[in-house]
Structure 1
Amino acid sequence: MGFDFLGSHGAWVVIFIIATFWPILVMFGLHHSIVPLSLAQITTLGYENIIGPGAMISNISQGVAALIVSWRTKDTVSKQISTTSGITGLMGITEAALYGVNLPKKYPLVAAMIGSAAGGVYAGVMEVSRYATGSSGLPAIPLYIGENIWNFYNILIALLITTVITAVLTYFLTLKYEKETSEQNKVTTNDKIITLKNTVITSPIKGEMIPLKDVQDAAFSTESMGKGIAIEPSEGKVVAPFDGKIVSLFPKKHAIGLLSDDGVEILIHIGLNTVKLNGKYFEAHVEEGQRITKGQTLITFDLEKIREEGYVTQTPVIVTNTYSYADVLTNNSSTVTDFNNELLVLIV
């Protein structure tokens, strides 16, 4: 009834509302409730303008805003996320751009909504309609080719208006909200502010290297805890791979969390499910909160006894603050024979 009233007293308002508030509807899942109205309209009238034009304009604006952020930000992690999500946004899938960039940063979402509102007004006044349903991104432009060819031309004009206004507004807002390089990639450690930098992590354990994807535990193999690598130990000893401190020493002594002076957070988990050993065969040589130096012995363990108990001794070494880095690269060699062997390279 509401859409019928709007269609009778100001058809342009429908497209304007959808174009402007589509991301809000998506956030609350309310956009699904409008789909039946769209399907009913196209099956009875042969064209549709309840969702199609507005959603497309909105999606394009979200993608454009994310791409401008990608261009302007000095933070490598944000740049990577903004680039990929901006491209998918232009294709009609905006969740990544919306939840990963525009909503957390706020200002790109505001710029995108203003830009889509402007495009929505034009599309609404020109009564733009599509002749088939489909995705609401650039691949859907041919859906506007039909009986009235001006629908095709007008959606292009509406998208141009949206793109220009969104891009300009986002750009000017980045001048205020995007910090300079010197302010990026900063973390607090040891009660001081440090700037993350490219870092090489040496191996805390000797043995055969295993790609993380081959670890027999989904918590590690899926990289849900972060990127890294695993080692099949040849010696029951874990040493500090850098200068820093112990941030967590698990009560069963089977795992330890470290923080380097450069801001790298590392989790070393000795074996899989070894928490069930209740500390048997493990001995800790450090305490939580203690300062450590590179090469210092942290934990020793009876490797053969653990294997005799039937436990897998694959030992993941995880960069738990992976999100702070543009990439985490692993050593190409297969064997770690020395604690000074390069294990991981962290790129900011």
Structure 2
Amino acid sequence: MRKYEQLAKQIVEEVGGKDNVASLTHCVTRLRFQLKDESKANDDVLKNMDGVVTVMKSGGQYQVVIGNHVADVYNDVLPIIGEIPQGTADSEQQGSLFDRFINVISGIFQPVLGLMSAAGMLKGLNILFSVVGLYTDTSGTYVFLDGISDALFMYLPVILGYTAAKKFNLKPLLGVLLGLALCYPALQLSALSGAGEPLYTLFEGTVFQSPVYLDIFGIPLISVDYTSTVIPIIIIVYFASYCQKLFDKVIPDVVKFFVSPMLTMVVSLTVGFLLIGPLATFGSNLIAEGVIAVRSFSPMVSGALVGFFWQILVIFGLHWGIIPIYINNIMTIGYDNVMMPFFAATFAQTAVVLAMMLKTKDKKLKQIAFPAVISGIFGITEPAIYGITLPRKTPFIISCIASGIAGAYYGFANLKEYIFGGMGIFEFPAMINPETHGMDDIVVAVIGICIAVPIALILTFIFYKDPKEVLETSAVQEATPSELAVKQMTAYSPLTGTVIPQEKIEDVAFSQGLLGKGLGIYPTIGEVVAPFDGTLVTVFPTKHALGIVSDEGLELLIHVGLNTVQLDGQHFTSYVEQGQRVTKGQRLLSFDIQAIEAAGFSVEVPIIVTNTQDYEDIVVTTEKTIEKDAFLFSALT
């Protein structure tokens, strides 16, 4: 069995089965599903599954957050769901216009971001090694490493042609061919301008001034260097996808295999070179100039906003709306300083988790915080966000505040990144100016970290406090044996009915104490109330079972009926939600005793202490019948 095969099977089952999966990709920490029907996914079950951090819904995607080993889980999911398209016409139409835009952008850029980070990091390290004197920038080593790291950026239209084709349901290799045509040397600005004087110049005297060296069918071909561009190829592939659909409909099957792609290529590239490419290039330049103009209004405010909201945008997947601007800036003007104020967010989040790890008395939190800190240093913060800070709210807000303050400094100091970099500490080489080899931006970046980290540490130490139950548990662990002997935790009956000794419960898992000690109740009234003050840690989607933890740490499972999970929630009504705090006697759920029995199921209600091992003994009531809110049992420590 593969390492994550069992987890993969459970995930596929809980998202509604393989037939409910329209497409699947993954990023650094998340499986990103497009589901045909999201209502079939069991959110609560997935969130509480070992190996899953949390579940998010954004941009038309159903995102299952796994952590650093997401690629391994993804590889084990693929054989289960089989071959599926990366995007379908139906899935593209789901959600709002904005959701569909985010979905398209993420689908195009996700597959290539890892490669871009790798190539960018290699390029940055190559520059760094030459700056520190390991070798010169004219040596064979430098030229070789620069060439293999720059290849992806030089031929970026080819890579994006492939990913965009998969997203727009164009034949992927046709998308590659469109990208290759855009990068073909004879059609590039450098080759054309070297051919002599231009035939004439269009839009002379304006920002759109363009020399013309060739014409196609008498129509001028505006000279544009498409290498390293982003937007033109995406729009051309989108146009080509409609050309392909049209030609596939009208061309006879006997010649469709080669005639359809030939006509698609000719039509889309003719329109692409004559119209789409120039307009998209002009648009790219205007976007770059526009965002710089907006930023110039107040760099500090702009930086503070980017720094503060960046992690929130990432949570909802909305950062995909900014990433194309970031890449476009680097490719058109040679650097980005608009999105860079986000840089300290990773280190602010990591510092918050480090402070929590040092301050907390919760052993479980300490265990999960340490690997989250290590991941954060290298730029992976999802385990920290979803597993630690976001559920506790205050630490997450602190990380946003620290990042926002550092972002304001980055805006003021005009932090720049010149190539697509790595993440975390691996992003520093991307801040070396490739023309001057200056390292001023690295200094600015480090100063920003030195601002964010202390703020995050200090605010977390001041404002973060362990929950009440953690403090009380810690106090119990530090108590003397004589103090422990008199401590007990009491649960009161959640139902009215007849008491059933544990060994007489009809289900073996409950009767033999495999899940813990407790008892059963045969209810005479179909209502369950809270047995103590506490928090609902589990509310099963089928409503037949609840998991509740008292303020003192007593963990209780209340399971209404035997095998009633098969009713799929029928005859049950829930009045609470998972994570909700409840008080003793509060109504939790109701159920129809007669209807359940008529369906062929027992209504015996096992009530089990699932953390029995934490107590010396469980002392249960000796009464034969019991009313709700009456003494049920005590857990002795």
TM-score > 0.5, shorter chain as reference = yes
For the structure 1 residues 49 and 69, does the alpha-carbon distance in structure 2 shift closer, same or farther, using more than 3 Å as the test?
same
CA deviation map 1:162-199 (0-9, x unaligned): 1111111111112x55558542489986239xxxxxxx
For the structure 1 residues 258 and 28, does the alpha-carbon distance in structure 2 shift closer, same or farther, using more than 3 Å as the test?
closer
| In the alignment, structure 1 residue 103 sits paired with structure 2 residue 390 | yes
| In the alignment, structure 1 residue 183 sits paired with structure 2 residue 472 | yes
Query: What's the TM-score once normalised by structure 1's chain length?
Result: 0.56
Question: Does the 8 A contact of 1:246 with 1:259 survive in 2?
Answer: no
Residues in 2 aligned to 1:28 and 1:288: alpha-carbon distance in whole angstroms: 40
Query: What's the TM-score once normalised by structure 2's chain length?
Result: 0.33
User: What is the deviation of 1:134?
Assistant: 3.0
Tell me what 1:171 maps to.
Answer: 461
Q: Which has the higher strand share?
A: 1
Tell me what 2:426 maps to.
Answer: 139
SS in 1 for 2:354: helix
| In the alignment, structure 1 residue 41 sits paired with structure 2 residue 342 | no
| In the alignment, structure 1 residue 288 sits paired with structure 2 residue 605 | yes
Tell me what 2:302 maps to.
Answer: 14
Residues in 1 aligned to 2:455 and 2:292: alpha-carbon distance in whole angstroms: 30
CA deviation map 1:236-291 (0-9, x unaligned): 99622553234899xxxxxx9999998456899x9xx999xxxxxxxx9x94247x
Tell me what 1:130 maps to.
Answer: 417
- Identify which of structures 1 and 2 has the higher relative contact order when contacts are C-alpha pairs closer than 8 Å and 6+ apart: 1
Q: Compare CA radii of gyration and give the structure with the larger one.
A: 2
CA deviation map 1:297-323 (0-9, x unaligned): xxxxxxxxxxxxxxxxxxxxxx7x8xx
Counterpart amino acid of residue 154 in structure 1: V
User: What is the deviation of 1:82?
Assistant: 2.7
Residues in 2 aligned to 1:84 and 1:121: alpha-carbon distance in whole angstroms: 29
Question: Does the 8 A contact of 2:432 with 2:441 survive in 1?
Answer: yes
Residues in 2 aligned to 1:149 and 1:236: alpha-carbon distance in whole angstroms: 65
Counterpart amino acid of residue 452 in structure 2: T
Question: Does the 8 A contact of 1:65 with 1:108 survive in 2?
Answer: yes
Tell me what 2:513 maps to.
Answer: 240
For the structure 1 residues 15 and 182, does the alpha-carbon distance in structure 2 shift closer, same or farther, using more than 3 Å as the test?
closer
Question: Does the 8 A contact of 1:90 with 1:137 survive in 2?
Answer: yes
For the structure 1 residues 65 and 244, does the alpha-carbon distance in structure 2 shift closer, same or farther, using more than 3 Å as the test?
same
Counterpart amino acid of residue 519 in structure 2: K
Question: Does the 8 A contact of 1:248 with 1:257 survive in 2?
Answer: no
Aligned length: 248
Counterpart amino acid of residue 183 in structure 1: E
User: What is the deviation of 1:108?
Assistant: 0.9
Match of 1:154 among 419, 422, 444: 444
| In the alignment, structure 1 residue 26 sits paired with structure 2 residue 280 | no
Residues in 1 aligned to 2:509 and 2:604: alpha-carbon distance in whole angstroms: 19
For the structure 1 residues 182 and 33, does the alpha-carbon distance in structure 2 shift closer, same or farther, using more than 3 Å as the test?
closer
* Structure 2 residues without counterparts, runs of 5 or longer: 1-286, 477-487, 494-502, 524-544, 568-601, 615-637
What is the percent sequence identity of the aligned residues?
28
CA deviation map 1:101-146 (0-9, x unaligned): 2222121122112211221122211111112213431221222122
Question: Does the 8 A contact of 2:341 with 2:408 survive in 1?
Answer: no
For the structure 1 residues 258 and 32, does the alpha-carbon distance in structure 2 shift closer, same or farther, using more than 3 Å as the test?
closer
SS in 2 for 1:129: coil
Residues in 1 aligned to 2:396 and 2:294: alpha-carbon distance in whole angstroms: 26
SS in 2 for 1:244: strand
Residues in 2 aligned to 1:107 and 1:122: alpha-carbon distance in whole angstroms: 23
User: What is the deviation of 1:28?
Assistant: 2.3
Tell me what 1:79 maps to.
Answer: 366
